[in-house]
Copies of this chain bind each other. A is one copy, B any other.
Amino acid sequence: MTQDKQAAIFDSFLALVKAPYGDFSGIGKLSKEINDDSTLEEIVNFLRQSPQGERAFKERILLGNIDLHQLHELPKNTLGYIYSDMMLKNNLKPVPVERIEDNDFSYLKIHLSETHDIWHIVTDSDIDKSGEVKLETFYVAQLHYDRLFLSLLSKNLLKTAIQEMELCESIMDALTKGWTMGKKAKPLFGIQWNSLWEKPLEDIRLSLDIAV
């Protein structure tokens, strides 16, 4: 690795340590620096090893438009209701539908981004600091070659050490849980979530080997 490359990674890493939580603007920069093309290729090749991942890359499955209010009419134990309830309560909006460029890296990025909040629900990860750490660790386990989520984890541990040691125990518990869960679970990448809105969340977790 060149000195310049390393310096760019450090710059974007420290910018995220300094940024307040919830300011995501620096993540894209760190991702670009640390997940270079050869890393992205390793991630794609790894995810394609499962038939579900292979199909997702082939068909470039996306969620499409989501009507949160419509999902909120479903029975209360369904994925659709629980997901939309969390989104509405926290005033979150689904990621706008993006056009995929004709390559696997673009699909990888967009699919991960638009399913992020669903992964929160399925893995029982809150949207507070320890919940984000739990989910980041789950990504580390599930994406295998991805350097971004591991560096985000590193960022959050440093932020805790400097700013908020009182959160240490809950952060470390979350990390441990996310790792154990992510290694044991079936792959979440490539699931066509919009065919599962009406299914009970409990059944989905069971079928994915996720014990919360």
Contacts and interface: CB of A to CB of B under 8 A. Distances in A.
Contacts of A160: 150
A165 B180 contact: no
Interface string A105-137: 000000000000000000000000000000001
A157 interface: yes
Contact of A162 (B34, B157, B158, B176): B34
A172 B153 CA distance: 11
Contact of A180 (B13, B140, B176): B176
Nearest to A14: B10
Give the most central of A137, A150, A155: most B CB within 10 Å: A150
B137 A161 contact: no
A175 interface: yes
A145 B162 contact: no
A131 B140 CA distance: 20
A154 interface: yes
A179 interface: yes
Contact of A168 (B6, B34, B140): B140
11 contacts: A6-B162, A137-B172, A151-B161, A154-B154, A154-B155, A154-B157, A154-B161, A175-B176, A175-B179, A176-B176, A176-B179
A-B pairs with lowest CB-CB distance, top 6:
A154-B157, A154-B158, A150-B161, A151-B161, A147-B161, A154-B154
